[in-house]
Amino acid sequence: MNNMRFSLKNRTLSLALMAVMGLGTAQMAQAQSKPAAAKAAPAASSQFVDGIAAVVNDEVITLRQVDLEAAQVLEQLKQQKIPAPDHDILRKQVLQRLINERLEQQEARAMGISVGPQQVDEGVRMIASRNNMTEAQLRAEIEKNGISWEQYRANLKQEILLDQLRMRAVDSSINITDADIDIYLRSQGGAGLGNLGQSAAQAQNAPVSLAQILVRVPEGANSSEEARLRTKAEGLLAQVRSGADFAGLAASNSDGQEALSGGALGTRSLSDWPDLFAQAVHNLAPGQVSDLIRSGQGFHILKVLERGGAAPGNTSPVPSAASAQSGPMMVTQTHARHILVKLSKVMTSEQARQRIEQLQVRLRNGESFQDLAKRYSEDSSAPQGGDLGWLSPGETVPPFEQAMDKLQPGNDTAVVESQFGWHLIQVIERRTRNMEGEYKRMQARQALFQQRAEPAFEDWLNSLRGRAYIDNRLDPESSTRRR
């Protein structure tokens, strides 16, 4: 399976995006990537009005922005009943989050990624549908929890942007081999998931809500620096086990982006958490905390908030690997090919659309699709004439799949934009077949992909921070000054 086909995986409702949909629960308030605006945010002190809090590459974050954001965070922490950090610590935590967001936005622009109102509208519709609500009901529920609709849409836009950035930067680099799948299936209890005992299957598919405290280890840290950070993490773990409030410690000390939400990471099936996390919390009861975990990011302390109930993070179009059932499964597959023109600093969306439409005209004038794909497509399928092979429902992102499904096999083509760029799609043929055997392997592939994608993306973000020029004037020790 080539990279484009796999990276076209339906990730629009990823775990990151779905972190905002835990409606009517404590998780909803905790999972917001930005808190609701305070009703009466205090004005910044006059001495800070024009001050610079940080420089991120060529962009400035002002102290006014930090203080306004800090006031909003403080209000949200009160609503969540999470102990607020000291004022100076709160400002540093807020600034670090703003720095991370600025880096992500800069990298997205460099890759030609943008999120428009239509994509946010689609995200709202999908979240409402997943919660069996109308959009009006969703809005009422959001506002009832003290979050303005405008802020919610802004949060959702940032989550979609981050999701698309992850897909572009990391997904295509993750390779799941047949041998990996075989090993995974054997680890589940046999050559097929149908051999799993009921209790084992339920354990793997059981939803688990987690929170974390992360002590980040910078890229390239020497042994003495790593030892210092390990000591810090061990001290935090000791405080938690002595009865200190986990959410309050996370808000004050965690380097994770979710720190100011009390460290809440959301809810997923156990099998959907990264391997390190799943292994660490497998036998923990709600309220218990893990031992120290070392990952590529740094040192993690995990707390199990809840087990059982709905798992809003599990958004796969089909059940997770652990719940795969035996029996005939008839699926309509599409054999398709495409030409991709990617967006970049020098290729705008309009320019890419025009190029694809020019190729469509040439195709209608008799040129070969395969030849055009080999010459002009920027996808890894180009050497195969753009051939993506047989695609099952849910294997491509929604805009691509929706356009493909409207096509009849033959010479008809469709032009569509996705987060990867502009596509020219042609359907070769369709078939309906029993996917029982392939289904189990597909679910195993999805589970492995989820386990690897998130840690890989966090490592990539850590590397991005290490390469950036960051002048953090509230916390100079966290600055990186590389040009």
Answer with the residue of higher pLDDT: 129 or 325. 129
Q: What is the DSSP string of 157-208?
A: HHHHHHHHHHHHHTGGG----HHHHHHHHHHTTSSSGGGS-HHHHHHHH-EE
Q: Which CATH class is domain 330-434?
A: alpha beta
Q: What is the pLDDT of residue 205?
A: 64
Q: What is the pLDDT of residue 1?
A: 40
Q: Is the pLDDT of residue 12 over 90?
A: no
Query: What is the average pLDDT score of the chain?
Result: 80
Q: What is the pLDDT of residue 387?
A: 96
Answer with the residue of higher pLDDT: 16 or 133. 133
- Residue 196 — very low, low, confident or very high, per pLDDT cuts 50/70/90? very low
Q: Is the pLDDT of residue 11 over 80?
A: no
CA atoms of 262 and 67, how far apart (whole Å) = 19
* Angle at the Cα of 16 from the Cα atoms of 154 and 100, rounded to 5 degrees: 65
Over the stretch 244-293, which tens digit does the pLDDT of each residue have? 999 999 999 999 888 988 999 988 888 778 888 988 998 999 999 999 99
Q: Hey, what amino acid is at 175? A: N
Q: Is the pLDDT of residue 458 over 90?
A: no
- Residue 440 — very low, low, confident or very high, per pLDDT cuts 50/70/90? confident
Q: Is the pLDDT of residue 464 over 80?
A: yes
Which of 68, 15, 243, 36 lies closest to 155 in space, CA to CA?
36
Q: Is the pLDDT of residue 356 over 70?
A: yes
Average pLDDT over residues 143-162: 86
CA atoms within 13 A on the CB side of 166: 26
Beta strands in 26-170 (DSSP E): 52-56, 59-62
Average pLDDT over residues 39-45: 39
Torsion of CA 301, 305, 308, 310, to 10 degrees: -100
Q: What is the pLDDT of residue 195?
A: 42
Over the stretch 308-343, which tens digit does the pLDDT of each residue have? 754 443 333 334 444 445 567 788 999 999 999 998
CATH architecture of 3-173: Orthogonal Bundle (1.10)
pTM: 0.62
Over the stretch 48-101, which tens digit does the pLDDT of each residue have? 445 999 999 999 999 999 998 898 888 888 888 888 889 999 999 999 999 989
- Residue 23 — very low, low, confident or very high, per pLDDT cuts 50/70/90? very low
Average pLDDT over residues 172-198: 69
Contacts of residue 119, defined as CB under 8 A and 6 or more positions apart, other chains included, come to 157, 160
Q: What is the pLDDT of residue 55?
A: 94
Q: What is the pLDDT of residue 5?
A: 44
For 59, 66, 442, 461, the CA distances from 102, given in Å and listed in that order, are 8, 13, 36, 12
CA atoms of 323 and 309, how far apart (whole Å) = 15
Average pLDDT over residues 115-127: 87
Task: Write down the domain spans for the chain.
Answer: 3-173, 330-434
Q: What is the pLDDT of residue 481?
A: 62
**CA-derived radius of gyration, the chain:** 24
Lowest-confidence region among 39-53, 333-347, 414-428: 39-53
For 400, 412, 417, the CA distances from 405, given in Å and listed in that order, are 9, 12, 15
Q: What is the pLDDT of residue 26?
A: 35
Q: What is the pLDDT of residue 164?
A: 84
Answer with the residue of higher pLDDT: 392 or 50. 392
Q: What is the pLDDT of residue 397?
A: 84
Percent residues over pLDDT 90 in the chain: 40
Q: Is the pLDDT of residue 14 over 70?
A: no
- Residue 207 — very low, low, confident or very high, per pLDDT cuts 50/70/90? confident
Which of 112, 110, 102 lies closest to 60 in space, CA to CA?
102
Q: What is the pLDDT of residue 250?
A: 94
Q: What is the pLDDT of residue 54?
A: 94
Q: What is the pLDDT of residue 183?
A: 87
Which of 341, 430, 411, 340 lies closest to 381 in space, CA to CA?
340
Answer with the residue of higher pLDDT: 359 or 311. 359
* Angle at the Cα of 294 from the Cα atoms of 292 and 296, rounded to 5 degrees: 155
Q: What is the pLDDT of residue 135?
A: 92
Over the stretch 334-353, which tens digit does the pLDDT of each residue have? 999 999 999 887 888 899 99
Fold agreement (3-173, 330-434): no
